[in-house]
Structure 1
């Protein structure tokens, strides 16, 4: 992000800024790069307009600079990114619904000033904030959508609409959450139109499905329709399946979503990722089991038998599976397991009728027979239950627990010793210190008396 705090050589004061704008507007601008000053900033932006083609753009940009100056928006005019927004507004200077000069500043925050100016320039009707945000980006198509909706055009009539929308989808698009980007809002609205729950629609909206490929839109709309009916859709699994579907479509243009299930699709996506991983790493490494006794504990939860166990991971693919589920890079530990005396265990929970749940990944140094690290999903610390299970495993398998970090700053000084487990100051040190203090006190008293 560019900013220009170094503006001492050109101060925005009465007349100097306006004179600079007039001077640059009248000159034959050459491409100029911003160098941290207001002058080079204006030279760069005026250089992106023409005196002969689309002349309203240059004229509108000049009017915006002058009027925002007259409205004392000095912070806005010192900021590169804010002035770039003025340039984006000027691109559509021939589509304005109100005169620039009628706009009045109502605050000191430069982003609020710009948003107010955008709405004043183009919006008669209420428009989504996520389209208003387009003026702070680079995509002119979404800026145009804001202008068209601001003038009362319907969503289905918007220029270069990449997907076909029903009336319900169009309504949902216009009311999509502001956190979305326009393409994400389209995907979100499309999912709702196919009957998705709000939660599922949000997952779909934020997924790779929002990267709309118009040439393949007939296929991807069936994908949105397929996942819209799911109630337990997870973002990471969805993107994993979408990568697989993109691969299958490249492989076979007639590939379709007919007669498929999410469970089967996720399994196929996992197997495909394993093949890709295997191709990337070349040879799959295998290694011998460590001989450490695994944990196996049977309990009852809600009247159902549950098994907690540790499973030793003995090849590159099993490490890949663990990392894929737990969302960290344990796959890179295969050479350590093969050559450097490391063992990796997966702490798992198994319930009848349900898929196995991975609770934590545990790294053990075989030479020390000690736990080096234990992490839950996303590198979080293990839960209380997981920690209790790890402690139980440590005792039953005769391995050392993970050492707690001890920081030097909290260690006792050299003059401190331990008495019955309590840190106390050393008595010899205290005696010497007292003698020295008494000596100097007596010295200064005698000197004062003399």
Structure 2
């Protein structure tokens, strides 16, 4: 009973006052961003009550929380000042919930700016153009930040391929060499740094690295195929070996480029799991082999997957925890369905019907690295889709590894939207 009369803290009182002030004004959403932020700054406690009052999609509240949560008083006041300065510029980036992470990183790194925010003026009402302009104004001291670094900010990939993009921006903006950045997952030569800086703006960090590695060996025509493989999406200790596989294909005359992905699957199986009764061969090399012999062995392995000779009935029934991704049904007619495969037997049947190597994904599915989905039209298998643990669709293949058709693209895009998935541009 004694707690009923216990006085509330000053922070809680200020929060209640801010909520009450906003509640008294029915048109508070019409206030200027500066005025709204001033009220938010008055809330020195958690924004739980205010969030309930304003709603979960209120951009300024989300941004303020992202910038100031758990910060010491002095640091919080500094960040509030930057937000108020942005509001005074009528910056559209403050009103976009999807930009909260990027703007919060910008505010956090504001002390390392090359120019003053007071000297920046938005030249466009487009929030994304404003964000790019802000980044270049504040941090790009020499106007040569690579486009893919800016794109990471615009896509809110503040950690990209294990690299802290904000720290990398500060480093490059000071005129330092990319190869001298301590947060790189790999070492770079001068040639690789030069090529990485030329990589297309739409690249991720890993894609820019693969672009540079292929450009350095005059093999850029293989970039699309490389980015479709696991090597194109991950940085590992055996990168030099996989670059050798690219060299092997680039040097072969009249080879079908569509064989690159299946051969990579076969090599990965041979190195990490083993083929048939063979043990894994981590030291496997292509030295001394011909393209014809490699493709022949890959096709033989492919056929063995269909026959399931190596796996008995028990392993055929092997299952695994599925990804938390919903299946898809096109409507009452159920003409188009997309379902997650849940057993090794289903992987085998999928590969048999569509004549590809999806059965080799057993280990990856069991480890939770990816999930395999099957798109059917009127009950007939049409496409196989690989979805990574981070909810990104990275591979889409039909019979004999064909690309998806336009009508199939419609259904995949609709499923991706409903299931909140991203579709890789190389899928």
Q: TM-score, normalised by structure 1?
A: 0.55
User: Highest Rg: 1 or 2?
Assistant: 1
Q: How many Å apart are 1:13 and its aligned residue? A: 2.0
> Partner of 1:72 in structure 2?
90
SS in 2 for 1:159: coil
What residue number does 1:258 align with? 287
Structure 2 CA distance for partners of 1:147 and 1:269, relative to 1, 3 Å? farther
Deviation track 1:219-247 (CA, whole Å, cap 9, x = no partner) reads 33433443454576766532322222222
Q: Does 1:37 align with 2:69?
A: no
Equivalent in the alignment of 2:298: 269
CA shift at 1:70, angstroms?
0.8
Does 1:154 find its partner at 2:183?
A: no
* Alpha-carbon spacing, 1:379–1:112, altered in 2? closer, same or farther (3 Å): closer
- Tell me the TM-score normalized by structure 2: 0.57
Query: Which structure 2 segments of 5+ residues have no match?
Result: 1-25, 273-279, 315-347, 358-372, 381-397, 407-427
Residue of structure 2 equivalent to 1:167: 190
Moved over 6 A (4+): 30-34, 231-235, 280-283, 316-319, 329-333
CA contact (8 A) 1:127 1:146 kept: yes
In the TM superposition, what whole-angstrom CA distance separates every residue of 1:297-316 from its partner, at most 9, and x where no partner exists? xxxxxxxxxxxxxxxxxxx9
Paired residue secondary structure (2:201) = coil
Determine helix, strand or coil for the equivalent of 1:215: coil
Task: Tell me, in whole angstroms, the C-alpha distance in 2 between the residues paired with 1:207 and 1:151.
Answer: 35
Contact 1:60/1:93 (<8 A) preserved: no
Question: Would you say the 8 A contact 1:128–1:174 is kept in 2?
Answer: yes
- RCO higher in structure (CA 8 A, sep ≥6): 2
Trace 1:383-394 onto structure 2 (pairs within 5 A): none
Distance 1:115 1:60 in 2: 22
Structure 1 position 156, deviation (Å): 1.7
Query: Are residue 92 (structure 1) and residue 109 (structure 2) matched?
Result: yes
Determine which of 35, 39, 46 is the counterpart of 1:16. 35
For 1:106 and 1:179, locate their aligned partners in 2 and report how far apart those are by CA, in whole Å.
23
Provide the C-alpha distance between the structure 2 equivalents of 1:323 and 1:281, rounded to a whole number of angstroms. 21
Alignment: residue pair count: 297
Report the CA distance between 1:139 and its aligned residue.
3.5
Conserved in 2, the CA contact under 8 Å of 1:163 and 1:217? no
Q: 1:356 corresponds to which residue? A: none
Q: Distance between the aligned counterparts of 1:377 and 1:210, measured in 2?
A: 19
Contact 1:64 1:86 in 2 (8 A): no
Distance in 2, Cα, partners of 1:324 & 1:331: 15
Q: Secondary structure at the match of 2:238?
A: helix
Q: Give the root-mean-square deviation of aligned CA atoms.
A: 4.2
1:137 matched to 2:156: yes
Q: Which segments of 5 or more consecutive residues in structure 1 lack a partner in the other structure?
A: 1-6, 284-315, 337-359, 362-374, 382-450
- Preserved CA contact (<8 Å) 1:209 1:224: no
Which residue is 1:238 aligned to? 260
CA–CA distance in structure 2, aligned partners of residues 111 and 238 of structure 1? 37
Judged with a 3 Å threshold, the aligned counterparts in structure 2 of structure 1 residues 190 and 39 are, in CA distance, closer, same or farther, namely: closer
CA distance 1:139–1:319, change in 2 (3 Å): closer
